[in-house]
Amino acid sequence: MEEILPEEHEVDPTSADYYFDSYAHFGIHEEMLKDTVRTKTYQNVIYENGFLFKDKVVLDVGAGTGILSLFCAKGGAKHVYAVECSLMANTAKEIIQKNGYSDVITVLKGKVEEIELPVQQVDVIISEWMGYFLLFENMLDTVLYARDKWLVPGGVVLPDRTSLHLTAIEDADYKHEKINFWSSVYGFDMSCIKKQAMLEPLVDTVEPNQIVTQTQLIKTMDISNMTPGDVSFSAPFKLVATRNDFIHALVAYFDVSFTKCHKVVGFSTGPRSRPTHWKQTVLYLEDVITICEGEALTGKMSVAPNARNPRDVDIVVEYTFNGKRSQASRRQHFRMR
Amino acid sequence: MEEILPEEHEVDPTSADYYFDSYAHFGIHEEMLKDTVRTKTYQNVIYENGFLFKDKVVLDVGAGTGILSLFCAKGGAKHVYAVECSLMANTAKEIIQKNGYSDVITVLKGKVEEIELPVQQVDVIISEWMGYFLLFENMLDTVLYARDKWLVPGGVVLPDRTSLHLTAIEDADYKHEKINFWSSVYGFDMSCIKKQAMLEPLVDTVEPNQIVTQTQLIKTMDISNMTPGDVSFSAPFKLVATRNDFIHALVAYFDVSFTKCHKVVGFSTGPRSRPTHWKQTVLYLEDVITICEGEALTGKMSVAPNARNPRDVDIVVEYTFNGKRSQASRRQHFRMR
């Protein structure tokens, strides 16, 4: 048969590149761009707060398609340095040129930790670094590195505030479908996979009516002042039931805010807010907790980047419950990967 | 904070392993196992055709969790060799042991092309090798390699027959959402990504009422007799409209069958059949074809593994349309990756 050749203009990395470099594919950027809670918040922050950007030098950490850099350029920035380590950097360059911003935005392809910036200092660092469970992929470390290396004293980091929250849900049906499924697969016992499934937090959307308890603030991060070590932490929780129900899982989610805006702006990825591509993070408990209104599930959550794979996140939940109708005490490991 | 250690029993590959080895994660196997059209067909083939398996030596190519090997063992096979190259092989071994089949099923971790089989010949080769668009990931080559190396003369390959079909659909809204989206992203022109999106077939479910034309058989493969070279082919098509409508895309799908069963069994992944995890493969055309009932879109489809990345598939569609209300003639490249 005839030879099939790729188009001349096509960037043609190998499949191996794609495994290393999932952000090279447009699909992941499509999902993020179409998350309007995410993208419109950044757009509003930039367009409605000209005083933060006008004639300022901006660094965009993890620029992707270049959308935030384009917002900043259109919003009056003097210059924007858009750093992107995936192959999407080439596409961003093409987009920026096509839209006539090549003299305002400079795309730098490479890792923030390795590139050289043509300037000594920047006035603003903007980044959409948040991963699932806030910390998955650990890009916050890269933002803090950039802050310490280039941000002018008194400069602005956007967003500058984030918090992680924990609540508890009833989830009998879905836990059965995702976890107990492995107990009998077409009649065979695959419970060793059940262990793997329990270990891995599930990124999925939770219905507000599944929530059984109040919400506990686990951690607040001040991106302007925190140290890289602050991404590892341990915090107690006390989840008080708002009704009689069963608890099958804990649910974690985060909020971000831009407190340097004229008026504080932000969004929540919680189950009571408009859904985002981050959804929520569900941690199934080994026990089913039979909880009565007013009783509390107490414990401690510990979070740290995995030692061998810092993009992964280790989570340990220790919990104790001493209720009228059930009791439990356990330490459970989870790993986001 | 305290150190967070993984559980003792946990297999703990690095993240890099996962990029190389997407089949190591249980999630992909969960999706395939829960595809009951797929898994129950294999189960029925094995349980209802004892004469094919009883006291036979079986080779399972790409065993995954080991489900097909377990079916074969339960179905009376003398011995099953389950070859799996991902880390899932370790899990399969554990599952097989747990279910008491360790003396009937031998798991061999490695590539079919590299492992040594403890026997000279096998009576049956079973495999669920089909990828998106039938040929994505090119695992059929591995089945043919195993057939030529180990299958006893007169032995059985399951499945042994597959065919690829093509039809055409109306898809204005979704084409707009997936393709034209890039023309203006929050006001910016990202049409260079539109080119990437057009190049990549979309794996998605098509509604039967979107189908505008008859269906064309593109290729039939006889797995027992074909040569590896037969996975590259070129075939003409003629798609006759069954109503006045617009054509936005071609849609490809495949059928498989097990003709060596007592009664032929199989399934289709077409838009009029029960949905499977393979969905359908949508190839958006550059032109919108305004077609009248009885008119035909004609052309040629060429398919071949990509030269540099044989797991990827190159597809070229040449089409001509000369209708009362529109005309078009074009050659379009696609790449599954």
CA dihedral sign of residues B170, B174, B176, B180: negative
CB pairs under 8 A between A and B: 139
pLDDT at B22: 80
DSSP code at position B29: H
Length of chain B: 337
Catalytic residue among A48, A114, A116, A128: A128
Q: How confident is the model at residue B50 (pLDDT cuts 50, 70, 90)?
A: very high
Is A34–B7 a contact, with Cβ atoms under 8 angstroms apart?
A: no
Average pLDDT over residues B238-261: 98
Amino acid at the residue B257: S
Please report the pLDDT score of residue A22 as a whole number. 80
Tell which of B4, B21, B183 to mutate to test the A interface (max A CBs under 10 Å): B4
Residue A130 token pair: 């948040």
Nearest residue of A to residue B189, measured between CA atoms: A99
The pLDDT of residue A9 is 37
The set of residues, in sequence order, having a beta carbon less than 8 Å from that of B103 and lying 6+ positions away, is none
pTM beyond 0.80: the answer is yes
Q: Give the architecture (CATH level 2) of A2-336.
A: Distorted Sandwich (2.70)
Q: How confident is the model at residue B2 (pLDDT cuts 50, 70, 90)?
A: very low
Q: Give the pLDDT of residue A138.
A: 87
Residue A187, judged by CB atoms within 10 A of its CB (0-12, 13-18, 19+), counts as exposed
CB contact (8 A) between residue A30 and residue B181: yes
Name the one residue in this structure whose structure tokens are 């189960």: B43
Q: What average pLDDT is seen over chain B?
A: 94
- The sign of the CA dihedral B35, B252, A20, B193 is negative
Chain A residues near residue B302 by CB distance under 8 angstroms: 1-2, 4
Residue-wise pLDDT for B164-176, tens only, equals: 999 999 999 999 9
ipTM for the assembly: 0.92
Reply yes or no on whether A207 is catalytic: no
Asked if the model's pLDDT at residue B280 lies above 70, the reply is yes
pLDDT band at B143 (very low <50, low <70, confident <90, very high): very high
* Per-residue pLDDT at B177: 95
Q: Kindly state the average pLDDT of the residues B328-334.
A: 98
Q: A335: which chain B residues are within 8 Å (Cβ-Cβ)? A: 6
Cβ-based contacts of B64 with chain A (< 8 Å): none
> Closest partner residue to A190 among B7, B15, B95, by Cβ?
B95
Nearest neighbour of A95 by CB, restricted to B190, B197, B333: B190
Q: Do A192 and B94 touch (CB under 8 A)?
A: yes
pLDDT bin (cut points 50, 70, 90) of residue B138 is: confident
* Angstrom distance (rounded) from CA B237 to CA B195: 25
Evaluated on CA atoms B89, B91, B92, B94, the torsion sign reads positive
Tokens 């029925």, residue? B44
pLDDT in tens, chain A (337 residues): 444 444 433 444 444 444 347 888 999 999 999 999 999 999 999 999 999 999 999 999 999 999 999 999 999 999 999 999 999 999 999 999 999 999 999 999 999 999 999 999 999 999 999 999 999 998 999 999 999 999 999 999 999 999 999 999 999 999 999 999 999 999 999 999 999 999 999 999 999 999 999 999 999 999 999 999 999 999 999 999 999 999 999 999 999 999 999 999 999 999 999 999 999 999 999 999 999 999 999 999 999 999 999 999 999 999 999 999 999 999 999 999 8
What does the pLDDT average to over B279-283? 98
Shortest CA gap B311–chain A (Å): 8
Contact at 8 Å (CB) between B56 and B78?
A: yes
* Cβ atoms of B152 and B123 closer than 8 Å: yes
**Is the CB of A15 less than 8 angstroms away from the CB of B312?**
yes
Alpha-carbon span A188 to A28, nearest angstrom: 36
Do B181 and A98 make contact, defined as CB atoms within 8 angstroms? no
Distance CA A313, CA A206 (A): 21
Using a CB-CB cut-off of 8 Å, the residues of chain B touching A232 are 1
In the beta sheet, which residues pair with residue A236?
A300
Supply the pLDDT for residue B190.
Answer: 98
